[in-house]
Amino acid sequence: MGRKKKNEKKKKHEVPRAEREDRHALYQQSVQDPGYETELATHYFEQRVGRRPMSLREDFCGTALLCAEWVKSDPNRTALGVDIDASVLAWGQEHVFTDLDEGQRARVSTIEGDVRDLHPERHDVVMALNYSYFCFKSREALRGYFATVKEHLRPDGLLFIDLFGGWESRQAIVEKRKVKGFKYVWDQASYDPITGDFLAHIHFHFRDGSKMKEAFTYEWRLWTIPELRELLAEAGFAHVECLWEDEDEHGGGAGTYSPCVSTTNDPAWNAYLMASVQVPPRVAAPGDPGAPTG
């Protein structure tokens, strides 16, 4: 009897995990894979352009985790992260950049601003990941963003963007996935086929029963691959390749991506588009090594 009472008392006064946890740390653990994305950009840049990419601009960088991974991956690499939200950049300075040594720290910087603002610096690679550019809902706005990216790239530079689709992406679906010590919940709240507006949230659920609801909310337009190809071409990109997710032995997603020009329909897919300012010296050829394994 006494023991039970003691436990109840402890529980009563314990702060629920949802109140103790940090949403940015949970986000990083649940959805980001900067090691694979650094490997992906390096692999395809070397394949297509024939040299090692050294400078990265990470648009919509958030906590700039990819920038940090990039400068860690090579002692001569530089990275610039751009995000409009000062608070998320400050979180990165405090929690991500403190993990870098002095040399790495000197090779990474961030800008608080709109990704559509023009800066003079040009980079080998621009990456805009986790579908962040879906926030541009009109053709004009997205084309304008892509045109700015082109100005931020060197003549042989590459842009990498990711996207998802399939009929399930337009359904009200809640997907739960176990991550170490908590559940990541992807909540597709609504999709309007007339306006194209898509609303989704990320929630985090914990073993103590507490929930961090709407830790992140996204109001997007779900762009398709043909639309993106057209807009990239209109913005001046000379060549666009689709990197489609490879299948594992059970027919599921393998988590690696290889060039693909045509495929069969799929209820839920992920892909990257790789856009080049100029047609790269080497375009995909049969027998080229496929995706890096990360």
Q: Which residues bind ligand SAM (CB under 6 A)?
A: 31-32, 60-62, 82-85, 88, 114-115, 129-130, 132, 135
How far is Cα 283 from Cα 228, in angstroms, rounded to an integer? 19
- Strand boundaries in the chain, DSSP class E: 55-59, 78-83, 108-112, 123-128, 153-165, 174-179, 182-191, 197-206, 211-221, 239-247, 253-259, 269-276
For ligand SAM, the closer CB: 37 or 280: 37
For ligand SAM, the closer CB: 83 or 124: 83
Two tokens, residue 90: 């400050």
For ligand SAM, the closer CB: 29 or 32: 32
The CB-of-293 to ligand SAM minimum distance in angstroms stands at: 20
The CB-of-83 to ligand SAM minimum distance in angstroms stands at: 4
The CB-of-77 to ligand SAM minimum distance in angstroms stands at: 18
The CB-of-8 to ligand SAM minimum distance in angstroms stands at: 40
What spatial distance separates the first Cα and last Cα of the chain, rounded to whole Å? 53
For ligand SAM, the closer CB: 61 or 232: 61
Of the candidates 100, 110, 25, the one whose C-alpha atom is nearest the C-alpha of residue 68 is 100
The DSSP string of 221-277 is E---HHHHHHHHHHTT-SEEEEEEEEE-TTSSEEEEEEE-S-----SSEEEEEEEES
For ligand SAM, the closer CB: 37 or 241: 37
The CB-of-257 to ligand SAM minimum distance in angstroms stands at: 15
Q: Is 83 helix (H, G, I), strand (E, B) or coil?
A: strand
Residue showing the smallest CB distance to ligand SAM in the complex? 62
For ligand SAM, the closer CB: 14 or 22: 22
The CB-of-224 to ligand SAM minimum distance in angstroms stands at: 19
